Amino acid sequence: MGGFLTELGKKLAERWLTLLVLPGALYVAALAAAGVVGHTFAFSRLTSRLTGLIVPASTVFVLAVAALLAAAAAGLAAQALGSLVERAWLAERWTSRPPGLRNLARFRVRRRRHRWSAAQAAYRDLTGTKTDLLATGKPVPVEVEESLAAGRRRVTRIAVEEPARPGWIGDRMHAVVHRIDRDYLLDLPTAWPHLWLIAPEETRTAITDAKAAFRRAATLAGWGWLYTAVAAFWWPATVLVIATLLTAHHRARSATETYAALIEATARLHTTALATALGMDHAGPLDRDTGWTVTCLLQGRPDLIPFTPEGRRSSPTA
């Protein structure tokens, strides 16, 4: 037991050093250097300041401890800002934001819906052209196939489904819930904790890794916003801020795509196993009756099983 705790302490110390102290120390050093250099490239000021710096040994120790604490504080601040960035990207409750932010978010949602509808209409026209060619037995030209691929990319670049969030990342996660509800009448937020419990270990590991990658991207964005303080003292750092924020957003989009795809695949592949675990007599692929029954059972409303949202009546499956 003692060996396990010792090893755990080492791992935590390594993680603390890697995630907080080292990036924080770089930030504190950059901030201090920017304060000395100012909005110039006069690095000789910094050199002369360091050369002429003479402090007692006891003061060096105090300064080292202070620098370590400042670095750790900067790391914690970056993680806190990363959490705010994560919430802003996902925008799950954007309708409850303060009026100014809510109106801005509503404007972005409407604008993105307009762009998505236009791109989707153009893609639908191209699909119709291909269908007409196939119906008449004519070969589909390469140009049409390339136009279809480009049209699909234009649609998904805006959103994979009709936009309901101010940004792409939030829409990508919302699309998973929308698709599962549309295809199977399964309320994914209700079913997800139960699906997580029955999912294979390798599936949960892949999902955890994807979520961790998304959070690392959010933390990187937090560092980008922290470095605006450095840019306030030394303007060339603005380039670093912009590059960091763009990199963070690119990584977040990539991680979100992986994370969303894994969650959707887990729901489609393992909901039938969940239905069996709940005592349902189910055979065959996942269907809307099964999804609706699972939702009702997990929400504690088995009395609603005979009634689907479309208003039709079906026989209970549990």
Residue 44 maps to a domain: no
Q: Which residue do the tokens 């910094």 mark?
A: 46
Higher pLDDT, 304 or 308: 304
Residue 198 maps to a domain: yes
pLDDT per position as a tens digit, 237-249: 899 899 999 999 9
Range scoring the smallest mean pLDDT among 31-35, 46-50, 260-264:
46-50
Residue 76 maps to a domain: no
Residue 51 maps to a domain: no
Distance separating alpha carbons of residues 201 and 270, to the nearest angstrom: 13
Residue 31 maps to a domain: no
- The boundaries of the domain holding residue 184 are 168-318
- The pTM for the full model equals 0.82
Percent of the chain beyond pLDDT 70?
81
Residue 300 maps to a domain: yes
- Two tokens at 153? 């990319």
**Run of H or E residues at 164:** none
Higher pLDDT, 288 or 63: 288
Name which of 193, 192, 245 is nearest 223 in CA terms. 245
Residue 32 maps to a domain: no
Which pLDDT value is given to residue 312?
45
Query: Is the model's pLDDT at 63 over the cut of 80?
Result: no
pLDDT per position as a tens digit, 29-47: 777 777 666 656 555 555 5
Distance separating alpha carbons of residues 47 and 43, to the nearest angstrom: 6
Which residues contact residue 229 at a Cβ distance below 8 angstroms, ignoring those fewer than 6 apart? 31
Given pLDDT bands bounded at 50, 70 and 90, which one contains residue 197? very high
The Cα angle at residue 169 between residues 238 and 184, in degrees rounded to 5: 175
Residue 186 maps to a domain: yes
Give the chain's domain count.
1
